[in-house]
Amino acid sequence: MCGIVGYFGSKNAADVIISGLEKLEYRGYDSAGIAVNEGNELEIRKFSGRLSVLADDVKENPMKGNLGIGHTRWATHGEPTIVNSHPHFNKDKSIAVVHNGIIENYLDLRKELEQDGVEFLSDTDTEVIPFLIDKYYEGDLLDAVYKAVGRLRGAYALGILHKDHADEMVAVRKDSPLIAGVGEGEFFVASDIPALLNYTRNVYYLDNGEVVHIKGDKIEILNDKKEVVDKKLNKVTWDIEAAEKGGYKFFMEKEIFEQPQGCKDTLERRLDKDGHIVLDDIKMTKEELENLENIYIIACGTAYNAGVLGKTAMQKFMGIPVYTDIASEFRYNDNFVNEHSLVILVSQSGETADTLAVLRDSKEKGARVLAVTNVVGSTIAREADDVFYTWAGTEIAVASTKAYTTQIVSLYMISLNFALKMGKITEEYYFEMIEKMKELPGKIQEVLDNKDEVYEVAKQIVNKEHAFFLGRGIDYSLAMEGSLKLKEVSYIHAEAFAAGELKHGTIALIEEGTPVISLATQQNLFEKMVSNMEEVRARGANVIAIAQRHNKEVEKVSSHTLYIPDSDDLLSPVIAVVPMQLLALMVSDMKGLDVDKPRNLAKSVTVE
Instruction: For the CB of residue 302, give the shortest distance to ligand AGP in the complex, in Å.
Output: 3
Q: Which residues contact 255 (CB under 8 A, 6 or more apart)?
A: 392, 395, 396, 397, 401, 402
Nearer to ligand AGP, 352 or 561 (CB): 352
By the 8 A CB rule, do 87 and 97 touch?
A: yes
Residue 349 binding ligand AGP, by CB under 6 A: yes
Told to check if 324 binds ligand AGP by CB under 6 A, we report: no
Kindly provide the residue ranges of all beta strands, DSSP E only, lying in 480-564, ordered along the sequence. 493-498, 515-520, 542-548, 560-564
Residue 346: beta bridge partners?
A: 299, 372
CB nearer ligand AGP, residue 349 or residue 558: 349
CB of 61 to ligand AGP, least distance (A): 38
Report which of 564, 560, 559 is spatially closest to residue 548, judged by C-alpha positions: 564
Distance between CA 353 and CA 359 in Å, rounded?
A: 10
Contact pick of 284, 399, 496, 571 for ligand AGP (by CB under 6 A)? 399
In the complex, minimum distance from the CB of residue 51 to ligand AGP, in angstroms, rounded to a whole number = 23
Which of these, 10, 28, 14, 396, lies nearest to 191 by C-alpha position?
A: 28
Asked if 182 and 202 count as a contact pair (C-beta separation under 8 A), the reply is yes
302 binds ligand AGP (CB under 6 A): yes
Q: Kindly indicate which of the ranges 91-99, 189-197, 397-405, 511-519 contains the residues binding ligand AGP, using the contact rule CB under 6 A.
A: 397-405
Q: Does 605 bind ligand AGP (CB under 6 A)?
A: yes
Q: Indicate the residue among 335 and 349 with the shorter CB distance to ligand AGP.
A: 349
Q: Is residue 252 at the binding interface for ligand AGP, with CB under 6 A as the rule? A: no
| Residue 187: strand pairing partners | 8, 182
The residue among 575 and 584 lying less far from ligand AGP, judged by its C-beta, is 584
Report the candidate in 348, 345, 349 with the shortest Cα–Cα distance to residue 357. Answer: 345
Nearer residue to ligand AGP within complex by CB, 91 or 360: 360
Is 263 considered catalytic here?
no
Q: CB neighbours of 435 closer than 8 A, spacing ≥ 6? A: none
At 528 the three-state DSSP class reads helix
Applying CB under 6 A, among 21, 63, 182, 398 the residue interacting with ligand AGP is 398
**Do 162 and 94 form a contact (C-beta atoms < 8 A)?**
yes
Candidate segments 78-86, 281-289, 301-309, 472-480, binder of ligand AGP by CB under 6 A = 301-309
What's the rounded Cα separation, in Å, for the pair 540 and 66? 70
Is the preceding peptide bond at 87 cis, omega within 30 degrees of 0?
yes
C-alpha 97 chain-centroid distance:
24
Q: Least Å distance between CB 372 and ligand AGP? A: 9
> Residue 276 gets which letter from DSSP?
P
Contact status, residue 401 vs residue 580, Cβ threshold 8 Å: no
Determine the Cα–Cα distance for residues 180 and 182; give it in Å rounded to an integer.
7
CB 380, min distance to ligand AGP, A: 8
d(CA 179, CA 562): 37
Task: Please check whether residue 489 is in contact with residue 588, taking contact to mean a CB–CB distance below 8 angstroms.
Answer: yes
The answer to whether 35 and 93 have CB atoms below 8 angstroms apart is: no
Binding footprint of ligand AGP, residue count (CB under 6 A):
15
Least distance (Å) from ligand AGP to the CB of residue 378?
9
Chain residue at closest Cβ approach to ligand AGP: 301
Given the residues 215, 231, 436, 603, the one annotated as active site:
603
Residue 117: burial class (beta carbons within 10 Å; 0-12, 13-18, 19+)? exposed
Decide if residue 300 touches ligand AGP (CB under 6 A): yes
- Among residues 12, 90, 341, 400, the one that binds ligand AGP under rule CB under 6 A: 400
- Looking at the Cβ atoms of 426 and 606, the one nearer to ligand AGP is 606
Q: Is residue 328 at the binding interface for ligand AGP, with CB under 6 A as the rule?
A: no
| Inter-residue contact 390 to 374 (CB < 8 Å) | yes
- For the bound state, the minimum distance from the C-beta of residue 403 to ligand AGP, rounded and expressed in Å, comes to 6
Residue 295 in contact with ligand AGP, rule: CB under 6 A = no
Does 352 contact ligand AGP by CB under 6 A?
yes
The angle, 0 to 180 degrees and rounded to 10, between the axes of the packed helices 474-490 and 572-590 is 20
Angstrom distance (rounded) from CA 242 to CA 239: 5
> Which residue, 82 or 602, has its beta carbon nearer to ligand AGP?
602
Interface mask (CB under 6 A) for ligand AGP, residues 329-348, using x and -?
A: ------------------xx
Instruction: Pick between residue 347 and residue 406 the one whose CB is nearest to ligand AGP.
Output: 347
- 399 vs 525, which CB is nearer to ligand AGP? 399
Residue 2 is a catalytic residue: yes
- Cα of 331 vs its chain's centroid, Å: 29
Closest distance between ligand AGP and the C-beta of residue 305, in Å? 8
The least CB distance from residue 254 to ligand AGP, in Å, is 15
Select the residue interacting with ligand AGP from 355, 362, 477, 490 (CB under 6 A): 355
Neighbours of 382 (CB within 10 A): 12
- Judged by CB under 6 A, the stretch of 41-49, 294-302, 460-468, 561-569 that binds ligand AGP is 294-302
Q: Minimal CA–CA distance to 131: which of 102, 98, 165, 90?
A: 90
Of 103 and 300, which has the nearer Cβ to ligand AGP?
Answer: 300
- Determine the longest span between alpha carbons in the chain, in angstroms: 80
Among residues 78, 260, 262, 301, the one that binds ligand AGP under rule CB under 6 A: 301
Which one from 2, 254, 264, 421 is the annotated catalytic residue? Answer: 2
Between 186 and 255, whose beta carbon lies closer to ligand AGP?
255
406 binds ligand AGP (CB under 6 A): no
- Least distance from ligand AGP to the Cβ atom of residue 313, Å: 19
Rule CB under 6 A: which of 463-492 touch ligand AGP? 488
The secondary structure of residue 150, as a DSSP letter, is: T
Distance of CA 275 to the CA centre of its chain: 21
Does 124 engage in binding with ligand AGP (CB under 6 A)?
no
Supply the residues annotated as catalytic: 2, 603
Binding site for ligand AGP (CB under 6 A): 300-303, 347-349, 352, 355, 398-400, 488, 604-605
